[in-house]
Amino acid sequence: MTAGLVVDKASSPLLLLVLAAGGVAAAVILAVPEIGLLALVVTTYTSLSNVLIQFHGAPSIAKVLAPLVLLSILLRWVRTGTRPEGWLQASLLVSLYAFACTLSLFAARAPAFTFAELTLLAKNALIVLCVVTLVQSGATLRRVIWALLAATIFMGTLSVHQQLTGNFEFDYWGFGRTPVGFALEGEHTTRLGGPIGDPNFYGMLLLTIVPLAIDRLQFEKRPLLRLAALWALGASMLTIVFTYSRSALVSLVALLGLVAVVRRPKPLHLLAAAAVVAALVPLAPDAYIDRVTQLADSVTELSERGTTREMSVRGRLSENLVAIEMFQDHPIVGVGLGNYPFRYDSYSREVGLDPRIRRKPHNLYLEILSETGLIGMAAFGLLIWSALGGALEARKALFAAGKNDIARITEAFTLSFIGFLIASVFLHASHPRYFWLLAGIALALGQVGRNETAAEPREPASGETTRPSEPTPTTRA
């Protein structure tokens, strides 16, 4: 009877397929929580749930996936006595930030916005808890990294195909959205938004993959996986260009510079990379080169005259100045989580740079300061400090223990997370689920390092030689 009712109420064959697949997936996840973790990573990074809802009328899988993974963890805990470690500290850090955000309710003029953001934060906290609880070993961390690379290959390949074929009318089943374009010298140019639908955030998402792809391309032993890493690197880099996102480009340049400082590539490798870049620059779309040049001109104009005619730069400047003024007026608890757009217009009129209304701060740190004040920023800073500190300690311990491959993966992901934080100077938390997924992995790295270095050292097989531990001077971190 229940099955008949489901069939009768189903609005499309796809919905039936999703329900059937969901039942099988739930059984598998309950049996093997790590599979649920990988599904959570891929689903989050590709925005699969939102795509299914918006473009195919399917029910939300995001609402049930994280709780299902947590249930599978609890069942395994009860069944086998396997207790995860390291999750309590991460839970306290996220809870402290959530408490600081809750305090901002006292200053919120639109408390409904704050409640909505707190609800979203609670959902994202479940993702952090799932990740931290399950990423306990180097093997699981490695699988998570490859899940991110696989998601990038999928999204980036569709985007590159879309750009090269000019097939902008087709949305690629929701994974190739192009809602934004711009006119330059009378010619309209389309910007790729991927499954997110926002070119700037899409570029930000993909640049975090670059250090991971470089690392696996350099150190992965299996040729097919190295080829996959090269594919992920090329797809992500090309897609960043096709988003025409100038903030992503600036962040990518800074991130690559940081990778070069930390990894210290050989001069020959640097020359080869420079040659590849020099060869690819002439192939970049003219509109992209013009857009980057326009940014450089507007920055020069801003430094010389104190203003610029370029609306996007004026808008970013207005949004940042408004955030600073909000913080100065409400330094302790801010104007209320989610209340920046609600309060923007009144402040913007006094700044007088941008006539547009209901803007967002386009800077994660100024957003936190303006909406949650010093208390919120202190809690957020503690979370980031703990994540990066644990990651760097794990990297050092892993290298010292001779676990070089996991140490390099840890180092590469730390660079990826830093890249996301760099890009956050230009973008706010419009899609916070990506941040919390990456933060969860970063928070898990410390426990991975402790577990891996506490394990008994493996005896080398016959004829196998162990690689010496890499030096870990402080200047590398």
Tokens of 367: 């957003």
Give DSSP secondary structure letters for 420-471: HHHHTTT--SSSHHHHHHHHHHHHHHHHHHHHHHHSPPPPPPTT--PPPPPP
Q: For 140, list phi and psi in degrees, rounded to 5.
A: -70, -40
Read off the DSSP letter of residue 177: B
Alpha helix positions (H), 330-403: 340-351, 364-400
Between residues 2 and 286, the one the model is more confident about: 286
Distance CA 360, CA 323 (A): 9
- What is the predicted pLDDT for the residue at 277? 74
Tokens of 84: 């995860």
Distance CA 432, CA 415 (A): 19
pLDDT at 398 over 70: yes
- What is the predicted pLDDT for the residue at 472? 43
Between residues 269 and 244, the one the model is more confident about: 244
Helices and strands in the chain, H and E counts = 19, 2
Read off the DSSP letter of residue 360: -
Distance CA 338, CA 4 (A): 43
pLDDT at 19 over 60: yes
Query: Which residue type is seen at 340?
Result: Y
Q: For 57, list phi and psi in degrees, rounded to 5.
A: 65, 25
Tokens of 459: 């005896």
Cα torsion through 139, 142, 148, 151, rounded to 10 = -70
- Provide the pLDDT confidence category of residue 302 given band limits of 50, 70 and 90: low
Mean pLDDT estimate for the chain: 88
Distance CA 340, CA 206 (A): 27
- What is the predicted pLDDT for the residue at 211? 97
> Do residues 327 and 373 make contact, with C-beta atoms less than 8 angstroms apart?
yes
Give DSSP secondary structure letters for 247-271: HHHHHHHHHHHHHHHHH---HHHHH
Distance CA 230, CA 218 (A): 9
Among 243-252, 311-320, 330-339, the minimum mean pLDDT is found in 311-320
Tokens of 80: 């086998």
> Do residues 252 and 240 make contact, with C-beta atoms less than 8 angstroms apart?
yes
Return the H-helix or E-strand segment holding 312.
Answer: helix 311-329
pLDDT per residue over 191-247, tens digit each?
999 999 999 999 999 999 999 999 999 999 999 999 999 999 999 999 999 999 999
pLDDT at 333 over 80: yes
Tokens of 91: 């839970």
Q: For 188, list phi and psi in degrees, rounded to 5.
A: -85, 130
- Give the other-Cβ count within 10 Å of 180's Cβ: 18
- Provide the pLDDT confidence category of residue 15 given band limits of 50, 70 and 90: low
Between residues 273 and 260, the one the model is more confident about: 260
pLDDT at 184 over 80: no
Q: For 180, list phi and psi in degrees, rounded to 5.
A: -120, 135
Contacts of 11 (CB under 8 A, 6+ apart): 57
Closest CA to 64 of 81, 83, 43, 45: 43
Distance CA 235, CA 153 (A): 6
SS3 label, residue 135:
coil
Return the H-helix or E-strand segment holding 191.
Answer: strand 187-191
- What is the predicted pLDDT for the residue at 13? 66
Distance CA 158, CA 17 (A): 23
Distance of CA 39 to the CA centre of its chain: 16
Query: Which residue type is seen at 9?
Result: K
Tokens of 315: 């808008």
Q: Is 290 exposed, middle or buried (0-12, 13-18, 19+ CB in 10 A)?
A: middle
Q: For 151, list phi and psi in degrees, rounded to 5.
A: -60, -40
